[in-house]
Amino acid sequence: MRAMKICIVIFLILCIVSFSLTVVLCFVRENEKVKRIALEAQVSQLEKDKAGLQMKVQDLNGENEELRRDVEKQKGLVDSYKTKVRDQKATIEEQEKRLAQIDADLTKLRDEYAEFKKSSSGIIEDYKDQNQGLLAQIQRLRSSPGESFTNPPLAQGVIPPPAAEGQNNVNVSVELEPVVVKPQISVSGRVEVVNRKFNFVISNIGADDGLKIGDVLNVYRDEQPIGLVRVEKLYDVLSASAIVEERENLKIQEGDIIGI
């Protein structure tokens, strides 16, 4: 009897222990399940964050590639502008050299023209004096029909006046240095400088002779036209003209006649 009581007590204890273990195991399993669910949620969130980060990384890579292309494009533009600046600088330097050469040529031409004008002024005054003397003697011839004069020589092309009616004809023997009478030309001058490098000429006619910027002038040699030039720069007694046209076998050169 006592053994049965002991067995029953042991059985009850075992039942209690088994129930307790079952309860503990259930609690532990539920706790693990909760933890697993929480971990799965965290993993899902991390995967979503990972996908978002990957998309951001792709967007950043695309922006980086676009920026790289823009940088290459801007670099090409900068190189192009540098090349243009170098070309413009070289052109400016060349133009400055050309202007300096033109200024030097013009200064030389002005000096030569001033010297020519100075030397020719005396000749012009001599001719004026001679013409005045001729006019005075012609007047005396008209007023004194029978008087004979030894006249100073007349310039070529000057015709003595006819004798008045009822007066004796007076033979006037005159001679002068031959004067070349040129045909009348509206504007005429001479080519002083020919610059083949920059394709222009400088002549000794300018604004004082009635020239204007843009005028087209003929160039002659031995009274034959050999080319055309257009006035580009204008001064009082000089002009610089671009060569527009010239004959293939007769190039414009210094000393050619230029005019309209």
Ordered by where they begin, the domains of the chain are 182-259 (2.40.10.340)
The per-residue pLDDT for range 8-45, each reduced to its tens digit, is 888 888 888 888 888 888 888 888 888 889 888 889 89
pLDDT(161) > 70: no
CA torsion sign for 206, 210, 216, 222 is negative
DSSP letter for each residue of 125-167: HHHHHHHHHHHHHHHHHHH-TT----PPPPPTTPPPPPPPTTS
Given a cut of 50, whether residue 209 has pLDDT beyond it is yes
Give the residue carrying structure tokens 């209690």: 16
What is the average pLDDT value for the chain, to the nearest integer? 78
**% of residues, the chain, pLDDT over 90:** 25
Quote the pLDDT of residue 187. 79
Amino acid of residue 24:
V
Task: Give the whole-angstrom CA distance, residue 22 versus residue 14.
Answer: 12
- Residue 229 CA, chain-centre distance (Å), reads 21
Overall average pLDDT of the 233-259 stretch: 92
pLDDT reading at 211 higher than 60? yes
Its sign, for the CA torsion 225, 226, 232, 233, is negative
Q: What is the arithmetic mean of pLDDT over 98-113?
A: 82
| CA 251 centroid distance within chain | 27
CA distance 27 to 19: 12
- Report the pLDDT averaged over residues 239-260: 92
Higher pLDDT, 174 or 58: 58
